[in-house]
Amino acid sequence: VFRVSTLAARAADRRGFSEADTETVEWAGLLHHHAIDFADAPGASKLLADLGLPGVPELDPLPERVHEVLRVYRGMARTADPFIAQTAILEESANLFDEQIENLPYEDATADEAIRELLLTGIVDPSFSEAVESFRVLSRQDLIECAKRLPVFPKAAMQALRMVRNPRSGLREIERAVASDSVLAGEMVQLANSGMFGTWHPVNSLAVALSRVGTEAAGKLIAAAAVRRSFISGNLHELWLHSAETADQAVFVAAEAGGLDLGEAYLAGLVHDVGRLAFQVSPAAVELRRWEEAGFPATYAEFLVSGTDHATIGAEILRIWRFPEELVQAVEHHHRPETTSSRLASVLYAAEDPAESLPSCARDHTASKRLDIEEIPRARSAS
């Protein structure tokens, strides 16, 4: 209801509705799922205010115009008033739009394809379609340009990670590979001291950092140091913490599922949301936050402002960084595990914060089947 009401109200705003009229659209949107008697019930507007609609005065009873919109919307009445008719159409269109997005886990199409198809059918009002077009302020190309300004994943890190996977490489060789990139080496020393790797005594050189964490965790330290640079550059500390947390959870899920490289799962977890960096440093960052604050999950909000999402853009970034295709695939499908056979994508889906996309039982089911586990072990619950 929140989403439908916000979509309809923002479309109304784009169409030049007055503030009072936009508010009517918002109220009708909030009530569109309920029976008409509910809207008529005393206290309905108090409920709207309690639902947190900003600036809603406690009006009792609800303005007659809201009732009229709802009656027309439900086909219980006709109207000669163009405002009422238009508003009912906007609500209907917003509802269809939102339903189409909700149905994506059952469709074999990207959000963009599904929405284009919906708009082509003509059941969505053209004025709503135009408004949706106007929400789109960024192109995929713009996002890739933003991504190109992010610090690149260091070559030395990629080389050192390959060595970590090779049982014949020793810590000294790994150290030499890392030392060729002094920024990376410095970052590793700093991270080793951050408490993230459980080292108690201060570490002041790369050699000590590596020997302190040991070969097994060396890969994690290298990966974390390499990725953190991109996050810190955009002042995106929260996203960094989320990535580190998801990386740990990805290792947990991958170990549970079996047959997966845990080092790879960790790296995948660290970079799974790298596409969000591009969005957050883009000119659409403020607009994106507005949608998210109105209750739209990240992937939905990203779709509204750009027609794509952070998973798709993240994969593009990893291609630019020359990541192995296996990791690229996993990141690309981490919110749509049903569209790939990659098990690593399912690991990321399971490790991911569910609040980043609309909840879906179908996707949970696919991921747990791919991973051969009973149930997705969620570290966080959807908000």
Smallest gap from Cβ 346 to Fe ion, in A, equals: 14
Give the residue with the Cβ less far from Fe ion, 102 or 245. 245
Smallest gap from Cβ 101 to Fe ion, in A, equals: 16
Window contacting Fe ion (CB under 5 A); options: 16-24, 101-109, 224-232, 269-277: 269-277
Query: How many Å apart are CA 10 and CA 5, to the nearest integer?
Result: 8
Window contacting Fe ion (CB under 5 A); options: 30-38, 219-227, 249-257, 354-362: 354-362
At residue 34, φ and ψ (nearest 5 deg) are -90, 160
Smallest gap from Cβ 246 to Fe ion, in A, equals: 5
Most distant CA pair in the chain, distance: 82
Among all chains, which residue has been given the structure tokens 């708009």? 119
Pick the binder of Fe ion from 23, 98, 175, 356 (CB under 5 A). Answer: 356
Helix (H, G, I), strand (E, B) or coil at 49: helix
Pick the binder of Fe ion from 91, 92, 125, 273 (CB under 5 A). Answer: 273
302 binds Fe ion (CB under 5 A): no
Window contacting Fe ion (CB under 5 A); options: 81-89, 93-101, 120-128, 348-356: 348-356
CA nearest neighbour of 246 among 382, 383, 381, 379: 379
Window contacting Fe ion (CB under 5 A); options: 118-126, 218-226, 279-287, 352-360: 352-360
Give the residue with the Cβ less far from Fe ion, 185 or 305. 305
Give the residue with the Cβ less far from Fe ion, 51 or 232. 232
**DSSP characters over 232-247:** HHTT-HHHHHHHHHHH
Strand locations in the chain (E): none
CB-side exposure of 194: number of CA atoms within 13 Å?
A: 15
- 197 to each of 11, 212, 255, 274, how far by Cα in Å? 49, 9, 19, 22
Cβ atoms of residues 328 and 337 within 8 Å: no
Report the residue closest to Fe ion, judged by CB.
Answer: 273
Give the residue with the Cβ less far from Fe ion, 44 or 250. 250
Give the residue with the Cβ less far from Fe ion, 94 or 250. 250
Give the residue with the Cβ less far from Fe ion, 69 or 330. 330
> What stretches of 32-81 show up as alpha helix (H) in DSSP?
36-40, 44-50, 64-73
Residues 216-235 that bind Fe ion (CB under 5 A): none
Binding site for Fe ion (CB under 5 A): 273, 352, 356
